[in-house]
Structure 1
Amino acid sequence: MIPHIILLVSITGLIFTYPFDGYFRFTLSVAVLATLLLYFERLPIVRVAAASGSLILLFRTIIKYPFINETLLNAALHNLPSFGYYLAYGLLFKMLRVRDYTGNVPALILLLSICDIGSNCIELIIRWELVGRSLETVLTSVVSVGIGRAVLAVAGYYSLKRYRDFVLAEDHAARYAELILIIARLKAELFYLKKSSADIELVMEKGYTLYQNLNAAYPGELAKVDSPAARALAIARDIHEVKKDYYRVTRGIEEILDVAVSDEGLPLDEFFQIVEQNTRRYISSLDKPVTITFDNDGKLITDQYYAVVSILDNLITNAAEAVQPAGVIAVTGLCSGGRLVLTVADNGPGIRPEDQELIFAPGYSTKFSEVTGQMSTGLGLSHVKNLAELLGGEITVVSVPGKTVFTVSLPLAKLAVAKTSQ
C-alpha cells in the first residue's frame, strides 16, 4: 500500500502553481499527503513524506530537464528544496502529534496549517526566495495556502472516514440479514427434528408394546435370541438409542439458538427487506433471469419473525426453481381481518392436480439436481405447513398452468404482536 500512496502523492505534485517569480510552487499533493497520513494511521509519517518528496524531485527533474539549457545535476539542484519541504512537513507532522487531534477539527486544521506554513518557510529560506521580496506579501500567500490545504486535508479525511463507515454499515446489515435467514432455517430444522423425535417416541412405544404382547403370548420365548419377542425388544432398544441421539442434537441446537436469537420483535417491513436481500442474491446466482417483487403493509411487529422468514424463504425458493427463464414472482404480506396473509405467486408451469394433494407430505418431491441427479429432500413445503400450523395458521395452494399461488394465513394473536402502527 505504501508505494501506491507515495505514487499518488507524487502524481498530484505535478498539479501546481507558481506564486512568485522563481522555482517555488504550491501543489495539491500536500493536501493529499496529509489526508492519507491521517486516514491510514499505520503509515510511517517521516518515511512516507520523505519518499514522496524524493519521487516528486525525480519527476520534476525529468520533466524540466529537456526544456532548459542546463545539466541534469543543475536541474536536480533547482528542485532539491522541494524535497526539503516534504521532509520538514513529515517531521513537523510527527513532532506535533497531529493524529492525536482527529476528533478536534479546529485544532487539526491549526496543526496542519502550522506544518504547511513552517515547511514552506523552510523551502523559501533554502531557495533564497525571500530576498528582495515583500515579506508581508509572501507570508500572506503562504499562510492562506497553508490554511486552505489544511481545510482540504481535513475534509478529505472525514470524507474517507464517512465512506468507510457507510461501507461497514452496509456490510454489517448484509451479515445481519444472512444471520436472520440462517437462524430461521435452523429453527425450522429444529422444529422438524422435534416432530421426528415425537414420531420416534411413538414408534418405540409401539415396538415395546409388541414385545410385551409377544412375551405374554409365548412365555419363555425371550430367552431365545431369534424369537419374535427378543427381536421386538431389540428393535425397541435401537429406537431408544436413536431417540437419545435426536435429543442430543436438538438440545445442542437449542443451546446455540438461545445465545444467538433475540426475543425482540421486528417490523414486518424490516424482515421483508431481509428476505428480499437474500432472495435477490440467490436469484442472481441462478442461470435464468427472474423478476421478483415484494409488497407489505408494514403494520405488524412480531417476535415470531424467524418462522415467517423460513416460510417465505421456502416458498420463494420453490417458486424460483419452478419458473422458466424470464419468470415473474410476486411476494406479499398484508394484515387483514386479524390475520397476516402471506402470498407467493409465480407464472411457472403449475402443479398437476394429482400432485397438489401430495406436495405437503414429507419427502415428496418432483425436483432433482441436473448436476448430481439426486432428488430433492421434499421437506420445504412440509416445513412450511408445519410452521404455519405451529402458529395456528394454514397454507393453501391454487395452481393452474401459468400461475401458482401459495397462501399462508396466520392469526395475529399467535404472532406475539408487540405494536401496530396507527
Structure 2
Amino acid sequence: MTKIKKYLIFITSVALFGELYFHPFNSSLRFSAGIIVLNLIILIDEDSSPLSISYLSGIGVFLVRIFIRIFFVSMSFRDSIALHFPSIIYYIVYGLFILTTNIRERKNQFITPIIILTFADIISNIFEIMVRSQQITPHLIQMTILVGIARSIIAYFIYLLYKKQELFLLTREHQKRYSQLNILISDIQAEMFYLKKSTHDIEEVMGKSYQLYESYKHDKALKDKTLDIAREIHEIKKDYYRVLHGFENFLKTFEKNGTMMLSDMLVIIRENTQRYLIENKKNVYLNFDFKDDFELKKYYHLFTILNNLIINAIDACKYKGVIHITQDSDPNNIIFYVRDDGEGIDEDILPYIFNPGFTTKYDEKSGKSSTGIGLSHVKNIIGEFKGTIEVNTLINKGTTFKVIIPKNSLIGW
C-alpha cells in the first residue's frame, strides 16, 4: 500500500467516524467518535506522522461536515465554514500534543498512554471551545474531562485487542512452522535408517570386490577390473559417509535439548493432519486420547511412527471415517494404538506390509505406485527402540496397529 493511499484511508475513516456523535449523560454537548479512530491509527501505525495524520484528519472532518451541511441541511457555505473551522484547530493541537509526548515509545505501558491520550483530548477540546468563543464553565470542563477519559480508554482497549489478535496470529504462524519443522526432522531421521543400512551394504560389497581382486591376482585383466570396482565402491562409500555425517550434524543442533511433552507433540500431529485432510478434501475425524503425559527424549522418532500410521489409516478410510489415536502404558512399556474404520487389509497381503517397497497404493492420475517404505520405516524405528508392532484387521471393518515401546527407550528411564 502506497503512503498516499494509506493516508487517504486513514483520513476518510476519521472523517466518517467523526459524524458519529454521542451526548454524554444526556447533556446538550456533542462529541464525535472520530478521535477514537485517530487514536488507534496513531497507536497502531508507527510509520505515519502523528502531526500530519492529525492535521489531515482535521481537514477531512472539516470538508465532510461542510458537504453534509450544504447538501443535506441547506446551510450556507459561509455559515458552514464558520461553524466547522474550529474542528481543524482541535486536530492540530491534538497532533502537536501527541508529537511532543512521544506516545509511541510508551504505548505498551498501559496507564501512561491512556493519560497522554486523555490530556490530548481535553486540551484540544479547550482550544476548540476558546476558538468558538464559548464560555468555559465548570460543567463544560467536567464533560470534557469525562469524554476525554472515555474516548482514550475505549481507543486503548481496542488497541490492546488488536495487539492480542496480532500476537495470536503470529503464534499460530510460528506454531505452524515449528510443527512443519518437526515433521521434516522426523522424516530425515527416518531416512537415516536407510542410509545407515546402505552404508553397511556398501561395506559388504566392497569387501567382496576386494576378495575377488585377491582371488584373481594372477589374471591381469580381471585384477585391474576388480580393483577398479573396489575403488569406485570405496568412493561411493565415502560419499555416503559424507551425506550421513552431514545429516547427523544437522540433527545434533535440534537434539541438544531434544525433548517434548507428549501432549505438545500430539497437538502438532493433529494440526498437521487436519491440514492434510483439508488439502485432500477428506471427511475423516481424528480422536486423540492419551493416558499419560510425559517428556519424550526421542520424539522425532515417535513423530515418524505415528505420522505414517495415521496417514495409512486415512488412506484406508478413503474419504470418510474415524481414526482413534490412543496412548496407554504398563509398568515397563508405553503403548500406542492407531485404529481406523476403513477397508481393512487383505489376509494374503498382510505378511508383506512391512517389506520395503511393498505397496498397494497407486496415484489415481498418473498410475504410479507409492514408494512403499512408510511401514518399513515404522518397523525399523520401532526395532531401534527394541519395541514391537502388531496388526489386527478385518475387511470393511478397520485396522488397528498396536505399537509397544519400552519406557527406557522412549523417555529414558
Give the aligned partner of residue 121 of structure 1: 126
Kindly provide the amino acid, as one letter, of the partner of residue 387 in structure 2: G
Q: Is the 8 A contact 2:38 2:54 kept in 1?
A: yes
User: 1:206 and 2:211 equivalent?
Assistant: no
User: 1:414 and 2:409 equivalent?
Assistant: yes
* d(CA) in 1 for partners of 2:387, 2:132: 85
Give the aligned partner of residue 51 of structure 1: 56
Q: 1:309 to 1:19 in 2, by over 3 A?
A: closer
Give the aligned partner of residue 261 of structure 1: 255
User: 1:80 and 2:85 equivalent?
Assistant: yes
1:388 positional shift: 0.2
CA displacement, residues 39-91 of structure 1 (integer Å, 9 cap, x when unaligned): 22222111111222222222212222234443234323321211221122111
* d(CA) in 1 for partners of 2:118, 2:165: 25
1:129 positional shift: 1.9
Root-mean-square deviation over aligned CA pairs: 2.3
Give the aligned partner of residue 303 of structure 2: 309
Q: 1:100 to 1:299 in 2, by over 3 A?
A: closer
Give the aligned partner of residue 109 of structure 2: 104
Q: 1:211 to 1:352 in 2, by over 3 A?
A: farther
CA displacement, residues 246-283 of structure 1 (integer Å, 9 cap, x when unaligned): 11111111121122334342222221111111111111
The 5-angstrom pairing of residues 338-377 of structure 1 reads: 338-377=332-371
Q: 1:76 to 1:383 in 2, by over 3 A?
A: same
User: 1:89 and 2:84 equivalent?
Assistant: no
The 5-angstrom pairing of residues 191-230 of structure 1 reads: 191-215=193-217, 219=218, 221=219, 223-224=220-221, 227=222, 229-230=223-224
Q: Is the 8 A contact 1:327 1:347 kept in 2?
A: yes
1:105 positional shift: 3.1
* d(CA) in 2 for partners of 1:24, 1:60: 17
The correspondence for 2:191, drawn from 184, 189, 192, is 189
1:152 positional shift: 1.9
* d(CA) in 2 for partners of 1:362, 1:69: 86
Q: 1:256 to 1:345 in 2, by over 3 A?
A: same
CA displacement, residues 346-385 of structure 1 (integer Å, 9 cap, x when unaligned): 2222222222222211112121222333221111111101
Structure 1: state its 5+ residue gaps.
Answer: none
Give the aligned partner of residue 148 of structure 1: 150
Q: 1:376 to 1:231 in 2, by over 3 A?
A: farther
Give the aligned partner of residue 28 of structure 1: 33
Give the aligned partner of residue 3 of structure 2: none
Q: Is the 8 A contact 2:258 2:299 kept in 1?
A: no
The 5-angstrom pairing of residues 266-281 of structure 1 reads: 266-281=260-275
Structure 2: state its 5+ residue gaps.
Answer: 1-5
CA displacement, residues 290-327 of structure 1 (integer Å, 9 cap, x when unaligned): 12211111333221111011100111112212222212
Scaled by the length of structure 1, what TM-score is found?
0.90
List structure 1 runs of 4+ shifted beyond 6 angstroms: none
1:93 positional shift: 0.7
Q: Is the 8 A contact 2:69 2:75 kept in 1?
A: no
* d(CA) in 1 for partners of 2:255, 2:9: 44
Scaled by the length of structure 2, what TM-score is found?
0.92
What secondary structure is seen at the aligned counterpart in 1 of 2:121? helix
Q: Is the 8 A contact 1:394 1:408 kept in 2?
A: yes
Q: Is the 8 A contact 1:301 1:417 kept in 2?
A: no
In the alignment of these two chains, the number of paired residues is: 407
* d(CA) in 1 for partners of 2:116, 2:81: 31
What is the identity percentage for the equivalent residue pairs of Structure 1 and Structure 2? 33
User: 1:405 and 2:400 equivalent?
Assistant: yes
